[in-house]
Chains A and B, each alone.
Chain A
Amino acid sequence: MRIDRVPQLSEPLPHLTRSVLKRRYRRIAGGLGLCVAGLGGATLLRWFFHLPLLTGSEPSIKVNTAVSLLLLGLALHLRAHQTKRARLAAAVAAALVVLVSLLTVVGYLGLDVGIDNLLFAHPVDGTSYPGRMSLVAASALLLLGPGVLLTCLKRDRRRTAVAQVLGLSGFLVGLLALLGHIYHAHFLLRVDLRYGSIALGTTAGVLAAGLGLLFVVPSGPVMEVFSSASPAGREARHLVFIHLPWLLLVVTLLTGWERAGGLSPGEAAALRNLALFIALLGLGWRAFRKLDQAEGAVRRALREAEGVRNSLQLEVMERRVAVASATIRAEAARAQLQAVMESAPDLIAAIDRDYRYVVANKAYVASLRANQGVTVVPGMRYDEVFRRSQEYQEQGQACWRRALEGERFTTVEGIPQPDGGVIIYERAFGPVTDWIGQVTGAVGVLRDITARRALEQEAAETSKLLERRNRDLETLLHVVSHDLKEPLRSIESFSRLLASRYQGQLDAKGLDFLERVVRAGSRMSQLLEEIQLLSRVRRAEPAEVHVDGEEVVQEVLARLDGAIRETGASVTVEPSMPRLRVERVWATQALYNLVANALKFRRDGALADVRVAPWGRNGQAGFQVLDRGPGVPLEHAERIFQLFQRGVGREVPGTGAGLAIVRQIAERHGGQAWVEPRQGGGSVFTVTFAADSGKAA
């Protein structure tokens, strides 16, 4: 809910502020002082020079009164000036007024100090007393003089109050005298008939001085309401400056009319009462109306304020709820993030753009506590943590900087530990971005790869060792197969020579023995040849050559043509043989061995039924040879691919190297060789090589 307007009790008076009013009042006071002083001064002139223009007869204002009025007026005027020196002069003048009036009053009480005769001696006849001021005037001055004097002293709220009460009292005395003059109420004008009554001029002076005293310090308790900018202040000013003067004017006019004989005393009194009644009624009505309006405005304002307060409260509540729920959500997300981070064995930390930690998991904190002796808390700057080692601080800071610049990278760093060891960390750094892709920070994940490194190193060493052993073994294989060949050749040759030339000289047993020597030699020769072949395969370097699978199949079938005819086998070749990345001689050798096996291993009494099919999957290509032979028991499926491990007995010819050679050829060329049972009996032998990645020709 919006606040439409600020409720106001009244329209402000932009220029009539308190200070403006006060300045204006002081100016009025000064002016009044000047008038009073002027009255006193003019009267004195008349007394001293008997100026015809100013007077027709002896002045009614007494000399002492004139002097007092002059001093009092000057004091007021000076006091209104506000300067320090003027204030001092005003105080002196006021003090003199007090002295004169006090001595006069004392004189009335019977203790004549001769003040009356100071300027003008009393006539001897005792008919008139030109120096003695009337008792009423003296008492008025005795009120006003101290009042002015008090305002000249150091400012004090109590003093100001007393001065204003004195001023008001003086004014009331003057008012009483004025009324006495208007109504010819002589007892009001003189207390002691011997010494005359207060003059009309003095009355005016006293009234003016009383007002001046009130106005000269406009901030006192009496005047406060008049100098207020509030509606009340306005009403007060209205009453005093407008209504009071017209009431006085009306009363004066009525009385004058009565005195002139136009009205009887009864009529005049009735009209005066009517005027007073009207004034009272009017003032009262106005005051009550204002009060009523004010109260209504206050109620409205309060109501509106209440509404605003309620809506504000509601809004605040809503906001608090929103903030609280957002906080709870954020806290839950943070807790979840922390839990995720804690579950990782890695050291995880994130910083903001000022290199201050945002989050860090326990592993990170623990590591830095051990290494740097510092406990990382969110808000801590990165350079505060690495005070102990400048080098790591700079190095780490460089990594964070790269990450903050948006780079995602990994480094490996060995970090010395306090215990003298070194932990190798793989450190991954990257930027953290907000939903519009702006980099708000960076995250670093440190993984302890010391153990992994050690294992890797060990594995590398083991593999190197294995490679060396393998090489040694191959050399041995090669040398042995080669060197065994020569004596074997002698055995074969001489046994055959013996068999051919000395047949007649041996008996049947001798011939049988000789025959066995020949057969053993022949078998050993075959074995050695295959070992040699295997050794050659192991040394073969896979070359970037390709061969058409179709040609390989045709060559194999051509080489086995005799055997196929002999066994009466049926051989089916499926179309679409793949292109292979292997040397022709090796591909041919592998397929040859498989097909030869398929021809060789058959069920009793059955003719071999061989199918050659293409094979291709996962970037590898090769051949499949399917037979309807006895099949390979699962437990032998792996063993038959090992050197000299045969799945059958001696009744089937063979050395046990054929499948080992097939596997070796496949593996040397990025492929594999394996056997699976065939649906409906028999086996499926597969040999694969790396497929030709290029376009088929």
Chain B
Amino acid sequence: MNSDAPTRRPIQVLVIDDSEDAVILTREALDATESLRIAHVASDGVEALSYLRREPPYQRAPRPGLILLDLNMPRMDGLHTLRALKHDPALRAIPAIVLTVSDQPSDIQAAYAEGAAGYVRKPDDFEAFAGVVRELQDYWTLVCRLPDGS
């Protein structure tokens, strides 16, 4: 990198959420941004880990630059997925952001304790949600720098 100006390189995003409706809305919001692109949608933590570790059928899957995950999921919920990610040396560098409707203090506390890079409460209103996603993009592309290999 020789340019000091932050560039709007597309960032591959792994979305982990079991709700189809939520995924559609998230996709709508992400598609409305310039840099955030959905690499893959996993319906739970097990599938997400499998994708990240390039287990079949994901041998050729690209490594995502950001992970957005919900807390409420079957099989392996958000907090457990977070723990697994942060205990895996190959994956722990990827920032994982919790995106959920819950604003329970206990959830927030637990999420950061498990190594979440952020905790975003999903607004009920879609326009608001789209705004939040846009700000997330700005933050991760204009303010922060992501580790290499993304």
A485–B101 CB distance below 8 A: yes
Q: Bound complex: CA of A486 vs CA of B101, how far in Å?
A: 9
Interface assignment of A493: CB less than 8 Å from any CB of chain B: yes
**3 nearest A-B pairs in the assembled complex, by CB-CB distance:** A490-B21, A493-B126, A496-B126
Supposing A485-B101, A486-B101, A489-B101 touch, asked if A497 and B19 sit within 8 A by C-beta, the answer is: no
Using C-beta atoms within 8 Å of the partner chain, give the interface range for chain A: 10 to 19
Query: In the complex, which residue of chain B has the Cβ closest to the Cβ of A492?
Result: B124
B81 to chain A, nearest CB (A): 19
Q: Does A183 contact B (CB under 8 A)?
A: no
| B residues near A492, Cβ cutoff 8 Å | 124-126
Say yes or no: is A494 at the interface (Cβ < 8 Å to chain B): yes
Question: Is A393 interfacial (CB-CB < 8 Å)?
Answer: no
List, in ascending order, chain B residues with CB within 8 A of A525's CB.
124
A485–B72 Cα distance when bound, in Å, is 13
Main secondary structure of the interface of B (DSSP, over half): helix
Given A485-B101, A486-B101, check contact A497 B125 (CB 8 Å).
no
Closest to A487 in B: B21
Annotate B107-127 by CB proximity to A: 1 below 8 A, 0 otherwise: 000000000000000001111
Q: Among residues 518 to 545 in chain A, which have CB atoms less than 8 Å away from a CB atom of chain B?
A: 525
Given contacts A485-B101, A486-B101, A490-B19, 19 further A-B contacts (CB under 8 A): A486-B19, A486-B21, A489-B21, A489-B101, A490-B22, A492-B124, A493-B21, A493-B25, A493-B124, A493-B126, A494-B21, A494-B25, A496-B125, A497-B25, A497-B28, A497-B126, A500-B126, A500-B127, A525-B124
Of residues 477 through 532 on chain A, the ones whose CB sits less than 8 Å from some CB of chain B are 485-487, 489-490, 492-494, 496-497, 500, 525
Least CB distance from B105 to A in Å reads 13
Question: Known interface pairs A486-B101, A525-B124. Does A493 touch B129 (Cβ–Cβ under 8 Å)?
Answer: yes
Query: Chain A contacts of B125 at CB under 8 A?
Result: 492-493, 496
User: A residues 445-498 with Cβ under 8 Å of B?
Assistant: 485-487, 489-490, 492-494, 496-497
Beta-carbon contacts under 8 Å, B1-32 to A: 19, 21-22, 25, 28
CB distance from B127 to the nearest CB of A (A): 7
Contacts of B129 on A, CB cut-off 8 Å? Answer: 493
Q: Mark B60-97, 1 if CB is under 8 A from A, else 0.
A: 00000000000000000000000000000000000000
Q: In the complex, what's the smallest C-beta–C-beta distance from A543 to chain B, in angstroms?
A: 16
B124 close to A489 (CB less than 8 A): yes
28 A-B residue pairs with Cβ-Cβ distance under 8 Å, sorted by A, are A485-B101, A486-B19, A486-B21, A487-B21, A489-B21, A489-B124, A490-B19, A490-B21, A490-B22, A490-B25, A492-B124, A492-B126, A493-B21, A493-B124, A493-B125, A493-B126, A494-B21, A494-B25, A494-B126, A496-B125, A496-B126, A496-B127, A497-B25, A497-B28, A497-B126, A500-B126, A500-B127, A525-B124
Expressed in whole angstroms, the Cα–Cα distance for A486 and B102 within the complex equals 11
Residues of B in contact with A (beta carbons under 8 Å apart): 19, 21-22, 25, 28, 101, 124-127, 129
What's the minimum C-beta distance from B125 to chain A, rounded to whole angstroms?
Answer: 7
Query: Which residues of A are found within 8 Å of B25, using beta-carbon distances?
Result: 490, 493-494, 497
Residues of chain A within 8 A (CB-CB) of B22 are 490
- What is the CA–CA distance of A486 and B124 in the complex, to the nearest angstrom? 9
Which residues of B lie under 8 Å from residue A490 when comparing CB positions?
19, 21-22, 25
B89 to chain A, nearest CB (A): 35
C-alpha spacing A497/B126, complex, angstroms: 7
| Nearest B residue (CB) for A501 | B28
B20 to chain A, nearest CB (A): 9
Q: Give the residue among A489, A496, A500, A525 with the most B Cβ atoms within 10 A.
A: A489
Q: Smallest CB-CB separation from B28: which chain A residue?
A: A497
- B122: nearest residue on chain A (CB-CB)? A489
Which chain B residues border A493 with CB–CB below 8 Å? Answer: 21, 25, 124-126, 129
Q: How far is the CB of A629 from chain B (nearest CB, A)?
A: 32
B121 to chain A, nearest CB (A): 12
A513 to B119, CA, bound (A): 36
Say how far A376's CB is from chain B's closest CB, in angstroms.
69
Cα distance A485–B25 in the bound complex, in angstroms: 16
Bound CA span A485–B21, Å: 13
Q: Which of B19, B21, B127, B129 is most buried by chain A, counting CB atoms within 10 A of its CB?
A: B21
On chain B, the residues within 8 Å of A496 by CB distance are 125-127
A497–B28 CA distance with the chains assembled, in angstroms:
10
Q: Determine the chain A residues whose CB is within 8 A of the CB of B19 once the complex forms.
A: 486, 490
Shortest distance between the CB of B131 and any CB in chain A (Å): 13
A497 — which chain B residues lie within 8 A by C-beta? 25, 28, 126
Give Cα A486–Cα B72 distance, bound, in whole angstroms: 11
Chain A residue contacts of B101, Cβ below 8 A: 485-486, 489
> A521's closest neighbor in chain B, by CB?
B124
Closest to B20 in A: A490
What chain A residues lie within 8 Å of B124 (beta carbons)? Answer: 489, 492-493, 525
A486 to B22, CA, bound (A): 9
CB distance from A522 to the nearest CB of B (A): 9
Measured between C-beta atoms, what is the minimum distance from B130 to chain A in Å?
A: 9
Q: In the assembled complex, how far is the CB of residue A584 from the closest CB belonging to chain B, in whole angstroms? A: 16
Complex CA–CA separation, A300 to B124 (angstroms): 130
Give the complex CA separation of A492 and B127 in angstroms. 11
Closest to A525 in B: B124
Q: Give the chain B neighbours of A500 by CB distance below 8 A.
A: 126-127
A502 to chain B, nearest CB (A): 13
Q: B19, B124, B125, B129 — which one has the most chain A CB atoms within 10 A of its CB? A: B124
A486 to B129, CA, bound (A): 15
Inter-chain CA distance A497–B129, complex, in Å, is 11
Kindly report which residue of chain B lies nearest to residue A488, judged by CB atoms: B124
Task: Look across to chain B and name the residue whose beta carbon is closest to the beta carbon of A490.
Answer: B21
Bound-state CA distance A652–B125 (Å) is 24
Q: CA separation between A494 and B129, bound complex, in Å?
A: 12
